[in-house]
């Protein structure tokens, strides 16, 4: 849903209305936090939903447990994505790269500590994911507030103006991206109906993660160029 912000911030920056960037970003925060609360039932009831879709109980239980544990990460995205688009619109991608690199290194250390040292298993992985996501979001927010005085002039009530028109554009962007992702994710759900679903789903998940790493190169180039 933050993709709408990319268009609006780009237009505002191109028109020299840099002060609007902060207002657009705050407006996006409001909409994305509302969307996070709207999505909470899917996180809370992931296990019964997966079982309803015919998934193996062991997979559904573990996936549902992990989903609930990463709920804090979802809320970090409501800050992460808008601040990211805010900075990208001003071509301040260098700071995003450094924050991302620091988070990457930190995440490796945290997940090694929680999973390998503390032996927390998937719970440790979820906690590490939550911590890393919030560190990235807060680092970007601190940079925006502290070093982007042109685009950020403080909290404004104008952020609550024209929320519906902004939300419609955000929803349209979300639907477009979700359709691209959902058909890909449905492969995993369908794989859960194969024989020995634990091995099938696990193997496919590994392959899709590797594919995701490869795709990050092109996604990063696209984000930097745009």
How many helices and strands in the chain, by DSSP H and E? Answer: 9, 0
Q: Could you tell me if 140 and 88 are in contact, meaning their C-beta atoms sit under 8 angstroms apart? A: no
Q: Supply the range of the domain harboring residue 105.
A: 1-164
Residue 133 CA to residue 137 CA, distance in Å, equals 6
Q: What does the pLDDT average to over 42-66?
A: 94
pTM here is 0.90
Number of domains within the chain: 1
**26 pLDDT above the threshold of 90:** yes
Residue 199 CA to residue 39 CA, distance in Å, equals 29
What was the pLDDT predicted at 226? 62
Residue 174 CA to residue 48 CA, distance in Å, equals 25
Quick check: is 199 in a domain? no
Q: Could you tell me if 25 and 86 are in contact, meaning their C-beta atoms sit under 8 angstroms apart? A: yes
Confidence grade of residue 13 (pLDDT, cut at 50, 70, 90):
confident
Q: Which tokens is 28 given?
A: 């996006």
Residue 196 has what DSSP assignment?
S
Quick check: is 14 in a domain? yes
- Give 148-170 pLDDT, tens digit per residue: 988 998 999 988 988 888 888 88
What was the pLDDT predicted at 223? 65
Q: What does the pLDDT average to over 111-135?
A: 96
Quick check: is 188 in a domain? no
Quick check: is 108 in a domain? yes
What was the pLDDT predicted at 221? 78
Q: What does the pLDDT average to over 70-82?
A: 96
More confident residue, 104 or 91: 104
Q: How many CB atoms lie within 10 A of CB 95?
A: 15
- Provide the mean pLDDT of the chain: 90
**203 pLDDT above the threshold of 80:** yes
Handedness of CA 211, 216, 222, 223 (dihedral sign): positive
Q: CB-based burial of residue 34 (10 Å sphere; 0-12 exposed, 13-18 middle, 19+ buried)?
A: middle
Quick check: is 138 in a domain? yes
Quick check: is 179 in a domain? no
């Amino acid at each position: 849903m933050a993709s709408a912000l990319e268009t609006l911030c780009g237009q505002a920056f191109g028109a020299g209305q840099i002060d609007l960037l902060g207002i657009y970003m705050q407006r996006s925060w409001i909409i994305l936090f509302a969307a996070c609360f709207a999505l909470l039932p899917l996180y809370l009831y992931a296990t019964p939903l997966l079982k309803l879709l015919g998934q193996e109980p062991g997979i559904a239980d573990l996936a549902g447990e992990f989903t609930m544990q990463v709920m804090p990460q979802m809320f970090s995205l409501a800050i992460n994505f808008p601040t990211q688009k805010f900075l990208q619109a001003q071509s301040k991608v260098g700071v995003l790269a450094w924050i991302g690199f620091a988070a990457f290194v930190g995440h490796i250390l945290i997940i090694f500590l929680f999973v390998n040292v503390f032996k927390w298993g998937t719970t440790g992985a979820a906690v590490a994911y939550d911590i890393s996501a919030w560190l990235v979001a807060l680092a970007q927010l601190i940079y925006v507030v502290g070093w982007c005085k042109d685009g950020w002039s403080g909290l404004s009530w104008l952020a609550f103006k024209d929320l519906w028109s902004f939300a419609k554009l955000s929803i349209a962007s979300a639907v477009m991206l979700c359709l691209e992702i959902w058909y890909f994710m449905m492969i995993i759900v369908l794989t859960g109906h194969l024989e020995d679903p634990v091995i099938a789903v696990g193997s496919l998940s590994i392959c899709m993660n590797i594919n995701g790493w490869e795709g990050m190169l092109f996604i990063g180039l696209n984000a930097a160029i745009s």
